[in-house]
Amino acid sequence: MGRSWPRRAKRSTRGRSSYETTPQIVHTFRVRNPTDRVVRVKQIRRSCTCTDAAISKEVIALGEAVDLTMKVNARPNYNEWLIDCSLETDHPEWPWWTYWVSFRTYPRARFNVATISLGDVPAKRNASTTEIGHRQGDSL
C-alpha cells in the first residue's frame, strides 16, 4: 500500500459499552494536514464491510484539520476488533493516512439453571400427622 502517514497510525480505544445500548461504535478523528502542501483525499478504504467512514472535506489545506468519522456495526459475540480506515491521498511521499478503532465485544450473559433429576421418589407422610391406632391382636 505504500508509506503511511502518520508514521504511527492514530488510534482510538473506547471504554466499556453494551451491545443492547451501543450496537454501533462511532468515533470521529481530527485529520490534520501537517505537510507542506495541499492534500486531496482520493479514496477511503475500510478494513471491514461492517464499517462506514466519511470525511468532512476531501481537500485539506496546509495546517487544516477535518473530521473523519468511523461507524462500526458491532455484533453481540466475543470478538477483539481492530478496524482501520486508510485515506488514499495525492501526497507524493505519504499517500496513505491510516486511522483505527479497537474494542472488544462480548456475548450477552446467560445463566443456565442446572436441573437434577432424582428419579421417582415416593412422597413421605406429613411429619405433622400422628397416627394412633390399634389392630386386633396387638397388646396395649
Within a domain: 7: no
Which pTM does this prediction carry? 0.66
Taking residues 40-65, report their average pLDDT: 95
Taking residues 90-100, report their average pLDDT: 93
Mean pLDDT, rounded, of the chain: 78
Residue 64 sits in a domain whose CATH number is 2.60.40.10
> Is the model's pLDDT at 94 over the cut of 80?
yes
Within a domain: 124: no
Within a domain: 40: yes
Number of structural domains in the chain: 1
For residue 57, what is its C-alpha cell? 472535506
Within a domain: 10: no
Taking residues 3-19, report their average pLDDT: 50
- Print the SS3 string covering 97-140: EEEEEEEEECCCCCCCCCCCCCCCCCCCCCCCCCCCCCCCCCCC
Within a domain: 73: yes
